[in-house]
């Protein structure tokens, strides 16, 4: 029998399982044939500590040392740049204040990203303390930690039923697993997992976000360009393996699914992007989409269920899964194991599923 079963092999599930594995026999159940198949495998892979709600920022900051130092660290320099049009001054200033950006001149912005259009970029801001995250290595390290402590990871094991005649009985991948505790880290499917377990769903909303990869603008070495955004996050672009990722930054509610990019949404995003740059989008080399899943108040949900303390939530990451993972997973492990949380009590309360009771 397992002490703890973690449902979901994305960053939320793997990080929680890695924290739990030194203290309990842990098994991770992942429905797909690879870890991080859905949202975790389709992340923009950035660490920007000031990005998100106050509770998210607190988790980001608490995760910083891990991102910088653990196993050599997972960060590399990138920076972020905001570019705004003339009529967007108010929202531009609000975003700069919220994210503690430094305003720069349009020419300084063009020096950083030479394809920005001087005719449309009226205001700009830059922040160097934003970093690429090596998300693949982080997930591999968490998986190694799980296995090093005797934990198991089962791929191609979709959960089909959950019962509790005494202990939890989880039917997945043609097997029945018995366990004392369940950690629900099923991402867009977390409410469905809860319903199978007889736990009230939280009202999580999966939202599609599309991305496309385009060739680097001709004649430009983009390797040191920052990630750059339109004001109001109407689009963003980021260097990636010698090409540019461009996203329309949409947030369209959808059912849990293996998401794909919507051609019309991509086209509209390209139009917004091209308004701010001098180089047209002539070719797309790849496109995809992921799901960002939000709780009703858009904050993460971390902790024991009010209805059954042996059912633990790690859900509602909303696109912040990787950058919050070190602190979020430690909190989930502390609460699951009955340890005093390292985070402040007010933050623990603000993230608890009890707020929806």
Residue whose C-alpha is closest to residue 315's, from 305, 289, 26, 47: 305
pLDDT digits 0-9 by tens, 34-78:
998 876 667 888 999 999 999 999 999 999 999 999 999 999 999
Confidence (pLDDT) at 39: 67
CATH of domain 80-127+205-294: 3.30.9.10
Cα separation, 207 vs 106, whole angstroms:
33
Q: Are 230 and 83 in contact (CB under 8 A)?
A: yes
SS3 call for 60: helix
DSSP string, 1-48: -EEEEEE--SHHHHHHHHHHTTTS-EEEE-SSSSTT-SGGGG---EE-
How buried is 22 (Cβ within 10 angstroms: 0-12 exposed, 13-18 middle, 19+ buried)? middle
Confidence (pLDDT) at 41: 64
Domain edges within the chain = 2-63+134-202+297-356, 80-127+205-294
What number is the average pLDDT over the span 123-144? 96
Q: Are 172 and 30 in contact (CB under 8 A)?
A: no
Q: For domain 2-63+134-202+297-356, give the CATH superfamily.
A: FAD/NAD(P)-binding domain (3.50.50.60)
Confidence (pLDDT) at 219: 80
Where are the alpha helices (H) located in the chain, listed in sequence order? 11-20, 54-69, 89-99, 106-112, 135-148, 190-196, 263-274, 321-337, 345-351
pLDDT band at residue 1 under the 50/70/90 scheme: low
- Report the number of secondary-structure helices (H) and strands (E) in the chain: 9, 20
Q: Phi/psi of residue 245, each to 5°?
A: -90, 130
Confidence (pLDDT) at 218: 86
How buried is 93 (Cβ within 10 angstroms: 0-12 exposed, 13-18 middle, 19+ buried)? middle
Confidence (pLDDT) at 200: 97
């Amino acid at each position: 029998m397992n002490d703890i079963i973690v449902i979901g092999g994305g960053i939320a599930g793997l990080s929680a399982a890695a924290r739990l594995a030194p203290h309990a026999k842990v098994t991770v159940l992942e429905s797909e044939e690879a870890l991080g198949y859905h949202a975790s495998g389709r992340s923009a892979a950035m660490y920007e500590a000031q990005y998100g709600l106050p509770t998210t920022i607190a988790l980001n900051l608490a995760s910083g040392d891990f991102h910088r130092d653990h196993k050599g660290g997972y960060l590399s320099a990138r920076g972020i740049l905001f570019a705004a049009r003339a009529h967007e001054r108010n929202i531009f200033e609000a975003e700069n204040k919220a994210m503690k950006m430094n305003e720069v001149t349009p020419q300084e912005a063009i020096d950083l990203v030479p394809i920005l259009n001087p005719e449309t970029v009226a205001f700009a801001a830059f922040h160097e303390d934003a970093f690429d995250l090596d998300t693949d290595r982080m997930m591999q390290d968490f998986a190694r930690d799980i296995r090093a402590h005797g934990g198991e990871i089962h791929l191609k094991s979709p959960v089909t039923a959950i019962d509790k005649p005494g202990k939890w009985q989880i039917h997945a991948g043609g097997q029945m697993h018995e366990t004392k505790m369940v950690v629900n880290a099923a991402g867009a499917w977390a409410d469905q997992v809860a319903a199978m377990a007889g736990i009230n769903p939280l009202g999580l909303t999966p939202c599609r976000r599309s991305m496309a990869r385009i060739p680097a603008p001709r004649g430009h070495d983009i390797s040191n360009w920052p990630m750059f955004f339109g004001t109001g996050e109407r689009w963003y672009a980021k260097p990636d393996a010698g090409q540019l990722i461009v996203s329309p930054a949409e947030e369209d509610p959808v059912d849990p699914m293996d998401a794909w990019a919507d051609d019309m949404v991509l086209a509209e995003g390209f139009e917004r992007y091209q308004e701010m740059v001098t180089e047209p989008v002539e070719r797309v080399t790849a496109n995809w989409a992921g799901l960002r899943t939000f709780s009703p108040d858009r904050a993460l949900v971390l902790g024991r269920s009010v209805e059954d303390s042996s059912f633990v939530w790690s859900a509602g990451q909303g696109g912040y899964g990787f950058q919050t993972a070190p602190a979020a997973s430690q909190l989930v492990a502390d609460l699951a194991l009955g340890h005093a949380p390292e985070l402040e009590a007010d933050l623990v309360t603000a993230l608890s599923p009890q707020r929806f009771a």
